[in-house]
């Protein structure tokens, strides 16, 4: 048997120890002594607290300790036959435009995805693939046209951290493998910060980087045209059934915080000819780039603020200037330096599951039975404490000292 949250069991043990210590503190009648006068004796029951050398009511003590341990064991989430493996492997596979040799990528990926606990495919977005369809997903990557999206390590690491919260339930340690060309454009300002959230090593498996660009056509296009969804001259956007308000939009490393009304959504899913220029704070596309008749078209689904202090902020100036930059420039396929790879790899030890936040606390099958047993023992304790219970004759049958004293005084007065 093992426990998912052993801290509760330790806490129950400490509480039980306190119950045992308190059981030795007995409140009882003091020893009778002759008094010269009872004039100043208060009319109250006489009681005193002392340490019992030979404790009584051991059945009651045992009952209370078992009840506390059952409650602690229930909260500790016991498992009779846990299906655990010593190391759970998580794999990130780069399927972006930065990959230079897809067959090499697939061969390297299959070497680690077999027996993996979680597989995440990523380009500019990341998605976890069901384990039963990993091979089918990799085959689909090889069969489709080459992706036009650049790879981004940051969202892929976030998706892997979420997958780790589920994989931790069946392992003692976690190992992370990243199969990628590690091109320079795949790193952003948040990559190192997000990498620090992973509490163990990362195994980088480097594949060939692309020597050309799917976006070369866009790079050679010097003409750029901007479309606004509010103008009604674009077919890329359709009105949203339920417009809402979004607090920020991000384009590259520039983030503009403002209560934007969001009234438009993409008319069709993204394809290989489109590139997301800007996203809302929840990840939904807010601006799209595409090539139309050799011309780069940037279609924007929001309006810039025209009043207020937002237009005075430095990030607004950078954001607006970025809208006028040529779109579809050649992506940077320069391999990331060895210093970054060494820092990305991190420590030599695996990630312990205790350092990974669990997804949710689930109730194991034994929990209801343990709580029910604790409830029955609590009811049984009431029967034990009654006179004539397991502990025999109750001490409440003994005469009270104050009553005896009052009877004696009444007799003398008579």
Rounded-to-integer distance, Cα 106 and Cα 126, Å = 17
CATH value at residue 129? 3.40.50.410
Number of domains in the chain: 3
Q: Are residues 316 and 258 in the same domain?
A: yes
Q: Are residues 114 and 256 in the same domain?
A: no
Q: Are residues 123 and 175 in the same domain?
A: yes
H-type alpha helices, 24-101: 58-75
User: What is the torsion angle, in degrees rounded to the nearest 10, for the CA atoms of residue 23, residue 25, residue 28 and residue 33?
Assistant: 150
- Is 80 exceeded by the pLDDT of residue 130? yes
- Is 90 exceeded by the pLDDT of residue 376? no
Task: Give the pLDDT confidence score for residue 159 in this predicted structure.
Answer: 92
Task: Give the pLDDT confidence score for residue 40 in this predicted structure.
Answer: 62
Residues 6+ apart with CB under 8 A from 75: 5, 8, 12, 367
Q: How confident is the model at residue 391 (pLDDT cuts 50, 70, 90)?
A: very low
> Quick one: which H or E segment has residue 10?
helix 6-23
Domain ranges, residue 305: 217-323
The residue-averaged pLDDT of 283-312 equals 81
- Is 50 exceeded by the pLDDT of residue 220? no
Q: Are residues 119 and 187 in the same domain?
A: yes
Higher-pLDDT residue of 398, 293: 293
Tens-digit pLDDT profile for residues 27-36: 655 666 666 6
> Quick one: which H or E segment has residue 251?
strand 237-251
The residue-averaged pLDDT of 13-24 equals 81
Task: Give the pLDDT confidence score for residue 180 in this predicted structure.
Answer: 94
Q: Nearest 5°: phi and psi at 263?
A: -115, -5
Q: Are residues 118 and 209 in the same domain?
A: yes
The residue-averaged pLDDT of 346-352 equals 89
Q: How confident is the model at residue 45 (pLDDT cuts 50, 70, 90)?
A: low
Tens-digit pLDDT profile for residues 150-187: 788 999 999 999 998 888 776 788 999 999 999 988 98
Q: Are residues 97 and 143 in the same domain?
A: yes
Query: In the chain, pLDDT over 70 holds for what percent of residues?
Result: 75
Q: Are residues 204 and 236 in the same domain?
A: no
- Is 60 exceeded by the pLDDT of residue 24? yes
Task: Give the pLDDT confidence score for residue 64 in this predicted structure.
Answer: 83
Q: Are residues 345 and 375 in the same domain?
A: no
Task: Give the pLDDT confidence score for residue 294 in this predicted structure.
Answer: 66
Higher-pLDDT residue of 387, 336: 336
Q: Which range in 118-122, 333-337, 356-360 is most confidently predicted, on average pLDDT?
A: 118-122
Q: Are residues 242 and 308 in the same domain?
A: yes
Q: Are residues 209 and 340 in the same domain?
A: yes
The residues pairing with 87 across neighbouring beta strands, listed in sequence order, are 173
Tens-digit pLDDT profile for residues 314-336: 878 888 877 777 665 445 678 89
- Is 70 exceeded by the pLDDT of residue 212? no
Task: Give the pLDDT confidence score for residue 408 in this predicted structure.
Answer: 45
Task: Give the pLDDT confidence score for residue 46 in this predicted structure.
Answer: 57
The residues pairing with 254 across neighbouring beta strands, listed in sequence order, are 251
Are 229 and 301 in contact, with CB atoms under 8 Å apart? yes
| Secondary structure (DSSP) of 128-186 | EEPGGGHHHHHHHHHHSPPP-SPP-HHHHHHHHHHHHHHHGGGEEEEEEEEEE--BGGG
Task: Give the pairing type, strands 78-79 and 2-3.
Answer: antiparallel
Q: Are residues 200 and 315 in the same domain?
A: no
Task: Give the pairing type, strands 224-228 and 202-206.
Answer: unpaired
Tens-digit pLDDT profile for residues 249-287: 888 767 888 888 899 988 888 776 677 888 888 888 888
Of 163-177, 295-309, 358-372, the range with the lowest mean pLDDT is: 358-372
The residues pairing with 295 across neighbouring beta strands, listed in sequence order, are 292
Buried b (16+ CB within 10 A) or exposed e, 132-142: eebeebbeebe
Of 140-154, 216-230, 370-384, the range with the lowest mean pLDDT is: 216-230
Rounded-to-integer distance, Cα 59 and Cα 288, Å = 75
- Average pLDDT score, the chain: 78
Task: Give the pLDDT confidence score for residue 101 in this predicted structure.
Answer: 86
Residue 410: burial class (beta carbons within 10 Å; 0-12, 13-18, 19+): exposed
How far the first Cα of the chain sits from its last, in Å, is 72
Q: Are residues 226 and 159 in the same domain?
A: no
Rounded-to-integer distance, Cα 73 and Cα 9, Å = 5
């Amino acid at each position: 048997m093992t426990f998912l949250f052993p801290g509760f069991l330790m806490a129950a043990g400490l509480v039980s120890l306190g119950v045992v210590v308190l059981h030795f503190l007995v409140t009882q009648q003091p020893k009778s002594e002759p008094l010269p006068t009872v004039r100043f004796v208060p009319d109250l029951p006489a009681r005193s607290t002392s340490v019992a050398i030979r404790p009584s009511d051991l059945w009651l003590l045992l009952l209370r300790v078992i009840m506390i341990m059952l409650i602690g064991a229930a909260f500790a989430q016991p498992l009779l036959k846990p299906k655990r493996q010593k190391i759970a492997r998580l794999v990130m596979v780069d399927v972006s435009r930065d990959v230079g040799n897809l067959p090499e990528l697939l061969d390297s990926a299959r070497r680690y995805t077999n027996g993996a606990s979680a597989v995440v495919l990523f380009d500019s977005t990341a998605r976890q693939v069901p384990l039963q369809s990993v091979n089918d997903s990799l085959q689909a990557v090889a069969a489709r046209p080459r992706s036009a999206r650049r790879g981004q390590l940051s969202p892929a690491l976030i998706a892997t951290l979420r997958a780790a919260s589920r994989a931790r339930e069946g392992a003692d340690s976690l190992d992370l493998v990243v199969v990628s060309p590690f091109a320079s454009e795949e790193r952003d300002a948040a990559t190192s910060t997000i990498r620090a959230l992973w509490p163990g090593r990362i195994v980088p498996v480097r594949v060939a980087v692309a020597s050309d660009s799917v976006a070369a056509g866009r790079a050679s296009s010097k003409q750029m045209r901007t479309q606004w969804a509010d103008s009604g001259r674009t077919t890329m956007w359709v009105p949203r059934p339920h417009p809402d308000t979004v607090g920020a939009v991000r384009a590259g490393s520039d983030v503009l915080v403002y209560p934007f009304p969001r009234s438009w959504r993409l008319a069709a899913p993204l394809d290989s000819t489109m590139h997301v220029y800007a996203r809302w704070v929840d990840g939904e596309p807010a601006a799209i780039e595409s090539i139309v008749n050799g011309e780069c078209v940037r279609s924007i689904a929001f309006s810039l603020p025209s009043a207020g202090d937002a237009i005075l902020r430095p990030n607004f100036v950078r954001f607006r200037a970025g809208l006028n930059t040529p779109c579809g420039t050649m992506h940077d396929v320069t391999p990331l330096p060895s210093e970054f790879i060494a820092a990305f790899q991190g420590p030599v030890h695996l990630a312990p599951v205790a350092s990974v936040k669990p997804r949710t606390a689930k109730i194991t099958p034994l929990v209801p039975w343990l709580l029910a047993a604790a409830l029955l023992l609590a009811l049984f304790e009431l029967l034990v404490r009654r006179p004539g219970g397991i502990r025999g004759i109750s001490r409440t049958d003994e005469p009270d000292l104050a009553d005896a004293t009052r009877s004696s005084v009444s007799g003398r007065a008579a």
